Amino acid sequence: GNSVTQMEGPVTLSEEAFLTINCTYTATGYPSLFWYVQYPGEGLQLLLKATKADDKGSNKGFEATYRKETTSFHLEKGSVQVSDSAVYFCALRGTGGFKTIFGAGTRLFVKA
């Protein structure tokens, strides 16, 4: 079956540091890939998405590229801010269906 694996946290960075959160997946066909973000005390909200190979999703300075050859969708940001402190979830929606499965989440702390 489909699965998502993302790097364990927590990740602690200083403000303006470069961020990478790794995500790899297992799926048949061509799934859609997502990054969701959860701020403290809130529900999840979509950060970015990519629906086909080589697509790059981007939002709020975050980017991720759908790499089918390496089955990866790593999240990157060039310069993090304290306000980026949150839990980040990589997610996959399989071909032809609507069930979305999630990775375990990576907590990010950004220090001023």
Partner 1 sequence: NAGVTQTPKFQVLKTGQSMTLQCAQDMNHEYMSWYRQDPGMGLRLIHYSVGAGITDQGEVPNGYNVSRSTTEDFPLRLLSAAPSQTSVYFCASSYSRGEVGTGELFFGEGSRLTVL
The site string for partner 1 over 20-59 (x = CB under 8 A, - otherwise) reads ------------x-x-x-----xxxxx--x-x--------
In this structure, are strands 62-65 and 75-77 parallel, antiparallel, or unpaired? antiparallel
Cα–Cα distance, 32 to 42 (Å, whole number)? 24
Output 11 or 44, the one with its CB closest to partner 1.
44
Largest Cα separation within the chain, whole Å, is 44
Tell which positions 83-112 bind partner 1, by CB under 8 A: 89, 91, 93, 98-105
Q: Is 55 exposed, middle or buried (0-12, 13-18, 19+ CB in 10 A)?
A: middle
Tell which positions 55-84 bind partner 1, by CB under 8 A: none
The residues binding partner 1 (CB under 8 A) are: 32, 34, 36, 42-46, 49, 51, 89, 91, 93, 98-105
